[in-house]
Amino acid sequence: MIAFAQAAEAAKAPHIDWGALSPAVALVGGLCLVLLLGLARARSVRTVAVPVLTLIALGVTAGLSVWQWNDNASIIEGALAMDDFTRGLTLLFCAAGVGTVLLSWRSAAAAEAGEGEYYALLLTSILGMVILVAAENFVVLFIGFELLSIPLYVLCATHMRREHSLESGLKYLIIGSVGSATLLYGLALIYGATGSTDFSGVAAAAGEVSDDPLMLAGVALVVAGLAFKASVAPFHQWTPDVYEGAPTPITAFMAVATKAAAFGVLLRLFDVALISTSGTWGPALAALALITIVIGNVGAIGQSSLKRLLAYSSVAQAGYMLAGVVVSTRLGIQATIFYLAGYVLMNMAAFAVIVARERETPAGDDISSMYGLGADRPLLAWPMTIAMLSLAGFPATVGFFGKLYLIQAAVDNEYAWLGVAIVVGSAISLVYYLRVIAAVWMRPASDATPVAGGRVPGARPAMAGGSQEADAGVPERRHDTTLDSLEIDDGEGTAAVAAGGTRRLRQPEVTFVAVLCGLATLAFGIWPDPLFELARDAGAAIASLV
Amino acid sequence: MTIHLSILIFWPLVFGVAGTLVPRNAAPVFALVGALVPLGYAVLMLFDFDLAARGLQYLTDDEWIPDLGIHYRLGVDGLNLWLVALTTLLFAASALWLVFRPPPRASLFALHFGVAETAVLGAFLAQDLGLFVLFFDLMLVPFYFLVGIWGGPERIAAAVKMVVYTLVGSLIMLAAAAATAVLSARGGNDLSFAFSDLVANRLPESTQKWIFVAFALAFLIKMPAFPFHGWMPDAYRTMPLPALAVFSGVVSKVAAYGFLRVTLPLFPDAVHDFQTILLVLALLSILYGSVMAFTQTNARLILGYSSVAQLGFITLGLFAADNAAAGAQGALMQSIQHGLVVAPMLLVIVLLAERAAGSEDIRDMGGIAFRAPVLAGLFLVATLATLAMPGSANFAGEFLILLGMFNDQQVFAFIASIGVVLAGVYALRLYIRAMHNRTGPAVTSFEMSVRDGLVLVPLVLAIVAFALKPQAALDHAEPSVKRAVAPVLQAGGSQQAATEVRP
């Protein structure tokens, strides 16, 4: 006993600034409570109290971040930087988390996996993101990385009774592990070259060893490892498959929050720790950005599944944002953060509409699920339209200013050709974004014909998952297996489904997410000052840049 | 008196949005109110405009997005005064047309119509490059919907083609605009997109060149000029005619205006370097457009290709770069005139199609004038104005353009005069095949209704009025145009001087 006390004294536990750490503490507390509450037997507790508690945890986290605003501190012996950069991104994660919870509310995935586990995993993943973007040390960085990833592997597979979901989870697990291993190897090599795991130590030593093969190999492996997570080409191949197979709310979460976290860590790692070697990784990342823009945009053109389309679109958007990382100026960081904030809003709006239609129509996430939306459902049609216009970079949406900001940042630091790449990519992207808008407004609902193959009926369970009154008259448990629904939809069923398979469901929370994010996309496109302020503060926190 | 340009710009948008909230059959009325008030405002402005004052009037100048250097800066001078008036007139006429002939899903139509007017007016009035690009790109959105939802067969393909084509240019222009502002701010200036700041910190010639190419591409596609007109036939074929009337009437003019407002003052050295290429493109547009207009049988396409030719003339005038700036003045005049003429002609196609069993092909028409003398008379006035009948404003415009060319580039002037002749050929062909000739098998000729007259007669009267007194516009425009062209003349002069000194 005495020996233990002596040992503890000798180890000298680091001082912890609990105030600065409070957002992360709130997440830990929230996830524990959610997990415990999920054990309750009463259905109402599981389906109502658990999501509400998750929302509260996210709200508290966001509130604590705002409370700590402008108070930049490096805590726990330089392990975590709780600065405005971290907190700005934490706000984005919380926004994405709130959206995901609302989209998951009636989804079959949460019910099948158990609400407690589902929402606790979601909070864990967000905790991992916060730690990842706050990390100022390679070990902490890797812990955050894994804490982010592992819950996501599980969440992808939560729609257990659908084989695509399991496949998606497994695929993500394998590829994600490869990415993690690559990252870890790279971090180890950089440590070997510089002799430090602290960002500040690495930054101090990196200048001298910038041509050291050990260092170069380390940086290359780190880029590859993070590129997996950010779905930067050519490490993006998992993205469409995983996005398509995962439950749509989780897809939305991955597309939005994971991307924000990956770019957060890219910004901090490259623009703080490795800034003095920017001459070596700058051109390489610029080339990756170019490849990503082209591959993402070209890949999206032929897609008929909206989730796949948005997966490729997210690859392309990753390319645009990578341009902001490449320029490695404060302007670049600000532009990237600004774009990320807008990106969260516009993608959330789009995914909310997809979730809603997936439950309502037999077409699943096929583009034909959007047919006739403009005439029948303006509250879903407009958010989708605004989201697509914003992703394409049309004016009066936040996407326009995001692109303009990125282009300015690129031109400002002699990367004018990357600015041109961004606009050329946007020009290509019009082809598929406009196709979605055309589906929403210009095609009558009667045009929709179920697509052949198992995927479409397979997507059906999502709609059966939630509201009970809508399921009246539907054969019991038809959503349980893909095979079941295949049998029902085959034969003369297809014609009937095309005409009358669409139903209106009461899912106000999904409409709410869509409308709110759509309005925000529009509002920030007209008055973007709050987002600029967020970007400015976040950029100011990274002091090593001009 | 104080005129708030913001009210002028956003009034149509507000009423367009309001139109979606009211019952469906009231929506066109909302659109009409949304279009009539700006018209009144613009007319007021024509009378109130101070001829003696230099520079911008009714200036609105607020900082909008300091991080990007974009100002909310609006103003009127001789360059945009008449174009704003034209815009409000054509939109008001089209809105009235919609009240009498409401389209399906009228409230949605009214919304896009309002957005379109706001975007066009915004592009004309913006005095900040960022704001200009924003409105320029925004113009495309409502027309995408107008083609895609209310268009004829193949509408979706046509809409996508139109947007992709024109937005490629616009996006490259966006990058170029960002580059202009960032590079102008290099010398320690604040980042600013305001035209006045950009003119003050003009870029070096080598940078001007590639930025000019980006802007010219955007404008030439939008016009459209040969060989960037690929989107035009499909879009013209399918766009609903009330929308096409404003599209052809004013949207293409924004591009011409963009040359005058943006490229000439900001990139004069590049304009001087690329002058010959632009002039050749303009000539090709004139010849190609005229020949194609002569060979088409679809009435919309005849007018579409004639627009290509007319915009070729306008481009020719813009880049004439003569000392008196006659070419540019003629181009501005021609822009107004073409807008005034093409809108009623496109609306007349609706009436022609009604009499030719729904066909817009001139082979199915003929003999329509027989029982419709008033309609034929109105159509004749517009036709004669198209072919630049002496006495028409078109004549004055083309005359000025050719005058500007003769001073400097006789060869171009000679070739361009062929275009004047060809205009007579295709315009008269359209008129004769539609109105006279043997009566088509499915044609039932009847006079137009009072309602249609309410829309068309004022437009035709405007053509006549403008023909009688083209000087009114020239008086307003001359000082501003001269100021816009002056940097190009300087650039030309200094380069000439340089080459003279060298040997």
Write out the two tokens for A222: 């780190």
**Which of A236-251 are b and which e, b meaning 16 or more Cβ less than 10 Å from the residue's Cβ?**
bbbbbbbbbbbbbbbb
Chain A positions in Cβ-Cβ contact with residue B134 (cut-off 8 Å): 395-396, 400
Q: Using one digit for the tens of pLDDT, what is the confidence trace for A402-430?
A: 999 999 999 888 888 999 899 999 999 99
Write down the pLDDT at residue B191.
Answer: 86
Interval A455-470 mean pLDDT: 38
Chain B positions in Cβ-Cβ contact with residue A368 (cut-off 8 Å): none
Q: Using one digit for the tens of pLDDT, what is the confidence trace for A39-59?
A: 888 888 888 899 999 999 999
**A411, B164: Cβ pair inside 8 Å?**
no
**B65, A529: Cβ pair inside 8 Å?**
yes
B112 part of contact set with chain A, CB < 8 Å: no
Q: Using one digit for the tens of pLDDT, what is the confidence trace for A243-302?
A: 999 999 999 999 999 999 999 999 999 988 888 888 888 889 999 999 999 999 999 998
Write down the pLDDT at residue B441.
Answer: 79
Q: Are strands B57-65 and A73-75 parallel, antiparallel or unpaired?
A: unpaired
Residue in A404, A412, A432, A526 to test binding to B, most B beta-carbons within 10 Å: A404
List CB contacts of A201: < 8 A, sequence separation 6 or more.
A194, A195
Return the H-helix or E-strand segment holding B12. helix B5-21
Write down the pLDDT at residue A484.
Answer: 35
> Rounded distance, CA B91 to CA B87, Å?
6
Question: Is residue A514 scored above 70 in pLDDT?
Answer: yes
Write down the pLDDT at residue B501.
Answer: 44
B163 part of contact set with chain A, CB < 8 Å: yes
> Rounded distance, CA B214 to CA B201, Å?
19
Q: What percent of chain A has pLDDT over 90?
A: 55
Write out the two tokens for B343: 């809108």
Cis, bond preceding B224 (omega within 30 deg of 0): yes
Q: What percent of chain B has pLDDT over 90?
A: 39
**B130, A400: Cβ pair inside 8 Å?**
no
Write down the pLDDT at residue A345.
Answer: 94
Q: What percent of chain B has pLDDT over 70?
A: 98
Residue in A293, A408, A435, A536 to test binding to B, most B beta-carbons within 10 Å: A408
Q: Using one digit for the tens of pLDDT, what is the confidence trace for A189-199?
A: 999 999 889 98
Beta-carbon neighbour count of residue A453 at 10 Å? 9
Chain B positions in Cβ-Cβ contact with residue A535 (cut-off 8 Å): 67
CA distance B440 to chain A (A): 35
Q: Using one digit for the tens of pLDDT, what is the confidence trace for B286-321?
A: 999 999 999 999 999 999 999 999 999 999 999 988
Q: How far is CA A28 from CA A25, A68, A131, A258, A265, in A?
A: 5, 18, 12, 19, 21
**A334, B171: Cβ pair inside 8 Å?**
no
CA distance A250 to chain B (A): 32
Write out the two tokens for A338: 């600004």
> Rounded distance, CA A154 to CA A160, Å?
10
Phi-psi region of B191 (alpha: psi -120 to 50; beta: other; left: phi over 0): beta
Chain A positions in Cβ-Cβ contact with residue B215 (cut-off 8 Å): none
CA distance A523 to chain B (A): 14
**Tokens 């870029």 map to which residue?**
B203
Write down the pLDDT at residue A362.
Answer: 85
B156 part of contact set with chain A, CB < 8 Å: yes
Report the residue of chain B nearest A420, measured CA to CA. B175
- Give the HSE-up count for residue A397: Cα atoms under 13 Å, Cβ half-sphere: 30
CA distance B487 to chain A (A): 26
Write down the pLDDT at residue A451.
Answer: 47
pLDDT class of A200 with cuts at 50, 70, 90: confident
What is the DSSP secondary-structure string of B291-352?
A: HHHHH--BHHHHHHHHHHHHHHHHHHHHT---TT-HHHHHHHHHHHHHHHHHHHHHHHHHHH
Write down the pLDDT at residue A9.
Answer: 65
Residue in B6, B13, B67 to test binding to A, most A beta-carbons within 10 Å: B67
Beta-carbon neighbour count of residue B361 at 10 Å? 16
Q: Using one digit for the tens of pLDDT, what is the confidence trace for B229-260?
A: 989 999 999 999 999 999 999 998 999 999 99
Write down the pLDDT at residue A267.
Answer: 92
Return the H-helix or E-strand segment holding B459. helix B450-468
Bridge partners (DSSP) of residue A86 are none
**A407, B175: Cβ pair inside 8 Å?**
yes
Angle, alpha carbons B263-B268-B272 (nearest 5°)? 110
Are A368 and A461 spatial neighbours (Cβ–Cβ below 8 Å)?
no
Least confident of A353-357, A473-477, B311-315: A473-477
Return the H-helix or E-strand segment holding A82. strand A80-82
Least confident of A80-89, A226-235, A493-502, B492-501: A493-502
Interval A345-355 mean pLDDT: 94
CA distance B94 to chain A (A): 23
Chain A positions in Cβ-Cβ contact with residue B138 (cut-off 8 Å): 394-396
Angle, alpha carbons A327-A329-A333 (nearest 5°)? 90
Quote ipTM for the complex: 0.90
**Tokens 């934490």 map to which residue?**
A90
Question: Is residue A498 scored above 70 in pLDDT?
Answer: no
Write down the pLDDT at residue B1.
Answer: 60
Q: Name which residue leads in pLDDT, B394 or A179.
A: A179
Residues of chain B with pLDDT under 50: 498-503
**A403, B174: Cβ pair inside 8 Å?**
yes
Residues in chain A: 546
Write out the two tokens for A173: 């697990």
